[in-house]
Amino acid sequence: VSNATHRTLWCELAWLGGDAPEPGVVLDIAGERIVAVSAGVAVPPPDAERRAGLTLPGLVNAHSHAFHRALRGRTQAGRGSFWTWRDQMYAVAATLDPERYLALATAVYAEMALAGITTIGEFHYLHDGTNAMGEALIEAAGRAGVRITLLDTCYLHGGIGRERSGVQCRFGDSTVAAWMARNEDRAAPPAHARLGAAIHSVRAVDPDAAAQVAEWSAARTVPLHAHVSEQPAENEACLAAYGRTPTALLDDAGALSARFCAVHATHVTEDDIARLGRAGAAVALCPTTERDLADGIGPASALAGRGVRLCLGSDSHAVIDQFEEARAVELQERLASGERGHHRAAALLRAASLEGATALGWDAGIGPGALADFVTVRLDSVRLAGTRPADALAAAVFVATAADVDAVTVGGRDAVRAGRHQLVDDVPRALAGAIASVS
């Protein structure tokens, strides 16, 4: 019944974009879209399915590398840095083929669905110069009941002025022309998928090639993402080689626009922030990964203050929990500044949902005509019991975890009901099996 073409849902509380959730929200759904929204309906209509708790727009994971999930829990021994972690990541990458990646990514995307994520931005560079792995990722998202924007990543060099070596050879195309030809060779994506482009970083793509990828994405009006200033060493190498910061280099290459999303932007300058703001660009913050890799704390308030749209990604999947990513943006800024209240709960929820969708080329939001992508968080768990309706947004951001997600609907269909995935029978078992096969 609940996957029929027409559905009516009555949500106890739903966030429609304001500073507080609305009580008694009825959603009428036809096919994959919401056709009508009525708030303040105290008594559920007799034919309506009831959604207790707080209903939010679908959460969006704007930056994912699905295979990094296999590293969770394995990289915490001893000291080290981003660069030593990267060696461990390369070892997993070496074992993957399309069949194994399909199994792994299906399980990882199912974990994301259980966490309330309805749309994933997959920053995909492990492609062996073919489209087989990318096709597997699109298929995996379909099997997990979620949407994907495949950001096929141009990766040409092993570092500034260096050839790719070892497993990096699997990440690349021989030239930017080969990257373009491969992306033009793709079949049209299925309804749950969209295509975009990515520049891996200024380490892996030279300025001329970056300009060509930017031009290619502009001609097709697709999203363009790039890792930007995750590490001080990247800035130093870029300044030494090109006399500019990575953001300035990408700006000069024509990459910055409202379709552009800088991933991390942890070590950006005032001028970089101004450039991103002028372009109407987005930044994908990945706080749980950035803290895991000792990257540093990004200037989220300064970016938002310049009009940069913030979205969130779980990147290395050290954890998959968009509530944790959202509160980390505020909480780490508190620690760094000695002050509270940098980002309102509603702004953090926007980052976790609507802004991510925009950065991935999807429309979003709970409103007439929108895709019927939403997630319901229970407020009666041991963590959230006692939450007053007026505090529900703040409770979702500052207290909820992925385990509080009760129901997830994508395009009018339930991917998760009562905390259980509807398409992947046993997600932990699927994860364990897939990870064992790549270890």
**Torsion over CA: 38, 42, 44, 45 (sign):** negative
Minimal distance in Å, beta carbon 423 to Zn ion?
26
Q: Minimum distance between the CB of residue 107 and Zn ion, rounded to whole angstroms? A: 20
Residue 317 appears among annotated catalytic residues: no
Task: Please state the closest distance from residue 113 (CB atom) to Zn ion, in A.
Answer: 21
**Residues 236-275: x/- map of binding to Zn ion (CB under 5 A)?**
----------------------------------------
CA atoms of 21 and 142, how far apart (whole Å): 31
CB of 155 to Zn ion, least distance (A): 12
Among 315, 333, 355, 406, indicate the residue that binds Zn ion (CB under 5 A): 315
Which strand ranges, in their side-by-side order, compose the sheet holding 22-30?
33-38, 22-30, 6-14, 49-57, 374-377, 405-410, 413-417, 420-421
Determine contact, residues 166/90, Cβ cutoff 8 Å: yes
Q: How far apart are CA 360 and CA 224, in angstroms?
A: 9
Which listed range, 21-29, 139-147, 212-220, 312-320, lies at the site for Zn ion (CB under 5 A)? 312-320
Give whichever of 206 and 315 is closer to Zn ion, judged by the CB atom: 315
Within 103-142, which residues bind Zn ion (CB under 5 A)?
none
Interface segment toward Zn ion; rule CB under 5 A; list 8-16, 202-210, 307-315, 391-399? 307-315
Edge-first strand order for the sheet with 309-312 is 59-64, 117-124, 147-154, 193-199, 224-228, 260-264, 282-285, 309-312
d(CA 393, CA 410): 21
* Token representation of residue 241: 């080689």
The size of the interface with Zn ion (CB under 5 A), counted in residues, is: 1
Q: Find the catalytic residue in 264, 317, 343, 421.
A: 264
Least distance in angstroms from the C-beta of 268 to Zn ion: 16
Contact by Cβ (8 Å): 244, 268: no
Q: Which stretch binds Zn ion (CB under 5 A): 88-96, 314-322, 353-361, 363-371?
A: 314-322
Name the burial class of residue 188, with classes exposed (0-12), middle (13-18) and buried (19+) by CB atoms within 10 angstroms of its CB: exposed
The residue (of 303 and 372) whose beta carbon lies closer to Zn ion is 303
CB-CB neighbours of 257 under 10 Å: 16
Set 173, 292, 295, 315: catalytic member:
315
Rule CB under 5 A: say whether 22 interacts with Zn ion: no
Task: Give the shortest CB-330-to-Zn ion separation in angstroms.
Answer: 22
Residue with smallest beta-carbon separation from Zn ion: 315
Residue placing its CB nearer to Zn ion in the complex, 75 or 422:
75
152 alpha carbon, distance to own chain's centre: 14
Residue 315 annotated in active site: yes
Count other Cβ atoms within 10 Å, centred on residue 90.
14
Span near Zn ion by CB under 5 A; candidates 155-163, 241-249, 266-274, 313-321: 313-321
How many Cα atoms sit within 13 Å of 83 on the Cβ side?
5
- Kindly list the catalytic residues: 264, 315
Residues that bind Zn ion (CB under 5 A): 315
